[in-house]
Structure 1
């Protein structure tokens, strides 16, 4: 549904503000009210789409609003990828033959020149003029499956921790094996050595529920894992790296998307939160570990892969042998994870199979 009571006023500087329609509207909006336009910039929020052209420039973020925008017959739409709110309209326009481009939020913030008060209408106009700095919208199915997989992994961890807590309250064994989990889910406590305390019956009900939910979550994880592995091409260049399997490759692709947005390995390492924090004061150089400002899932994945498979990767093994006397314990494995992130970037960015160095 279109909100027709609000329109936009355009000034010579390009700053626009909502206003109520006046008798001068036709003259003011002549250049933005064509029935057929070439490029439209759209500022997206959860509720609305704000367009850079059209007599009515505020539309609801749903099908009726999309159809109204398509009536202007745009050939190209430029928008900012504002998370989940931009996916549906982007895909909708693309499937109806409209070219959809996306401008990185970082690029957009550098290009904005605020004159007066910032408005969504101004942002839409700015997006319209950034066609040359935008990239083609491409839906990544691995992104949806990866976010679902990581969501379920978080739930699995919470269920496990809660179940261990409950088991500790009524027994001396909080280990959760597959066989024990199945028995607990059925309410079979015959082989359990339980403390008969006042709260024991209530905790046993909690254990039964948690065990059942944990088993269901693990089954869902297996299904999503198969889906992710099925989306990774057999000849994908990441699979040439020793220790990187189809699931790991799928998660990396799903989270990162387009590796070309990282022109240097340092930027990719920083995105993973594995970049070192160094403080300098005079001649003193103090290392403060890693920043942890990037994607926590990638950071955990690279750390896990480094610990598990460094001995199978010639590059990581050489790094390990070189630095094992200087770095100890977790610091060494964090350094290995950072090295692996650089290897992944190099192989993927250059689209060349892994070669030991």
Structure 2
């Protein structure tokens, strides 16, 4: 027997719940969460739109007893027949309908939370490393983070800058440890035999992150929708006879966009299709723009592999 489905529209102060043809309104606090538990049976599929931080506590509260699906607002806007004037009540109903139509495609809130943590920790590591390199230069050393260079730096006399170097190295070790823990936990949320791992350039960690953020790729009926969801769709402006590219929209999933960008850095070396694309476009594009174009191409390949359920084939 299929589990019942509910949709919850979340705002700062209130929750609108749609369940079995009826609408309910509760406060967005623990008291409201308890009221929701009274009307929703255990095991119910619950669609909640991602709304900054306002949905987080609700999702955590419900996650133990319910199948919580966190839905990207971009997907909700693109959902078929989602038209007309926006309203909290209509949104709650559409969230429930969206879960029904795509019930096999959303990852749990825990998996999405892990990918968000991974993204935050990864960016924090980059900031700490940049600060370390800056401090090494101030101390008169090379900006290399090699073990040999750091050992030489740490033998220097005490100073305010050296004290920060020691602190940053401890912080870096802590962050990298947490990153490894997250990557290990993520492996439990995705299928280890997913065809995404047949794509050269997409390794275990980035593959897990992409799968956790995407869920069921079947909900993207064509590659353009998928690329837009990843925030990698190009923005083009036309005026008269001229057409000018303004980069990418960045309206989609920021974590997915960064994951594909990082994967593209490897793919340009090991993936024959991306490598060829890189060589063909490096005369026209430079730096990050070229890598972003490769990331977009890699996203298209990923969509095709998962959508058609066929392993990567460089000849196609």
TM bracket, shorter-chain basis: 0.7 to 0.9
SS of alignment partner, residue 238 of structure 2:
strand
Deviations 1:60-86 (A, max 9, x none): 532x54443343466967654234244
Which protein shows a greater Rg? Answer: 1
Selected match of 1:257 from 195, 211, 215: 215
Cα distance change, pair 215–328 in 1 and its aligned pair in 2 (3 A)? closer
SS of alignment partner, residue 71 of structure 1:
helix
SS of alignment partner, residue 191 of structure 2:
coil
In structure 2, C-alpha distance between the alignment counterparts of 1:170 and 1:273, rounded to whole Å = 41
**TM superposition score normalised by structure 1:** 0.68
Match of 1:223 in 2: 181
In structure 1, C-alpha distance between the alignment counterparts of 2:9 and 2:256, rounded to whole Å = 30
Deviations 1:298-324 (A, max 9, x none): 333333333323343232234345445
The reply on whether 1:299 has 2:265 as its aligned counterpart is no
Deviations 1:85-138 (A, max 9, x none): 44235424526xxx9897954249944546xxx6xxxx2466347744444365
Match of 1:94 in 2: 66
**Cα distance, 1:206 vs structure 2:** 1.8
Selected match of 1:154 from 108, 123, 128: 123
1:159-308 alignment, distance < 5 Å: 159-181=128-150, 183=151, 189-190=154-155, 192=156, 201-308=159-266
Q: Which runs of 5 or more residues in structure 1 are unaligned?
A: 1-37, 195-199
In structure 2, C-alpha distance between the alignment counterparts of 1:268 and 1:124, rounded to whole Å = 28
In structure 2, C-alpha distance between the alignment counterparts of 1:163 and 1:56, rounded to whole Å = 53
Q: Which runs of 5 or more residues in structure 2 are unaligned?
A: none
**Cα distance, 1:238 vs structure 2:** 0.2
**TM superposition score normalised by structure 2:** 0.75
The reply on whether 1:352 has 2:310 as its aligned counterpart is yes
Selected match of 1:342 from 300, 303, 308: 300
Contact 1:45 1:85 in 2 (8 A): no
Match of 1:68 in 2: 35
SS of alignment partner, residue 280 of structure 1:
strand
Contact 1:259 1:345 in 2 (8 A): yes
SS of alignment partner, residue 221 of structure 2:
coil
In structure 2, C-alpha distance between the alignment counterparts of 1:39 and 1:222, rounded to whole Å = 35
Match of 1:8 in 2: none
Contact 1:142 1:250 in 2 (8 A): no
Larger RCO, structure (CA 8 Å, separation 6 or more)? 2
In structure 2, C-alpha distance between the alignment counterparts of 1:246 and 1:260, rounded to whole Å = 22
The reply on whether 1:58 has 2:16 as its aligned counterpart is no
Deviations 1:336-356 (A, max 9, x none): 222111001111222221122
Contact 1:41 1:125 in 2 (8 A): no
Cα distance change, pair 109–228 in 1 and its aligned pair in 2 (3 A)? same
1:77-156 alignment, distance < 5 Å: 79-83=47-51, 84-94=56-66, 105-106=76-77, 107=79, 110-111=82-83, 113=85, 123-124=88-89, 127-128=92-93, 131-135=96-100, 136=103, 138-139=107-108, 141-156=110-125
In structure 2, C-alpha distance between the alignment counterparts of 1:101 and 1:160, rounded to whole Å = 33
